[in-house]
Amino acid sequence: MRRFFAKYRFFFIVFSILSAIIIYLMYTALTPKQRLPIYQPSMVNPELVDSTLHYKKKYHTIANFKLINQNGDTITEQDYDEKIYVADFFFTTCPTICPIMTKNMAEIQGHILDDDEVMLLSHTVTPQIDSVAQLKKYALEKGVIDEKWNLVTGDKKQIYELARKSYLAVKTDGDGGPFDMIHTENFILVDKERRIRGFYDGTDAEEVKKLLEDIELLKASYGG
């Protein structure tokens, strides 16, 4: 028996290796690839969505926009063409969750610094207060890198509609006053087709970690 196995030793080794490869390939083929959901308005808390979109179940994308960043440059959807990006809503004088959100967004910036595929976009919900000069001051204080992260201000109505009708990310108290947008802690992950792929608590370190993992998962879906 020993002589038999010795004689065919090479065959058994090759056979074992090939079997292991075949089993691995079969397992890989049969294991469903992890994919991020594509969020539609009907999948999101109605408090965060404009009433006109509550029952929309497909084809939701981020609308075109035209805003001004911390350097006074015009920023549009074209600046994010073919980019994955993380968006949020804040204001520079916010004393509560914004400093934590900005700190965590800066952490994300550090992770994507050399990644041409990913960018950041923060919208002020108080554009009447957050002028270009105010945003620039804030950007310098928080370590914002212009090539990776735009802090944008502009027409309040446009920002409001983006928040409620595109990013599905803020509440409203409807008083019509200067603080009629109640921003949330949401970080929103947007893909290259301008579709929402995830919502994350921007004040929670574990959620930020999950966001970074999902960015890599989304990049992999594009072959990146």
Whats the size of the chain, residue-wise?
Answer: 224
Continuous H helices in 31-83: none
d(CA 108, CA 202): 10
Contact (CB, 8 A) for 205 and 103:
no
Are the C-beta atoms of residues 67 and 75 closer than 8 Å to each other?
A: yes
Asked whether 61 and 170 are in contact (CB, 8 A), the reply is no
C-alpha 94/C-alpha 34 separation (Å) is 37
Residues tagged in the binding site annotation = 94, 98, 183
Q: Which two tokens stand for residue 212?
A: 């970074």
Residue 118 to residue 112: CA distance in whole angstroms: 6
Report d(CA 90, CA 116) in Å as an integer. Answer: 25
* Binding-site residues from annotation for Cu cation: 94, 98, 183
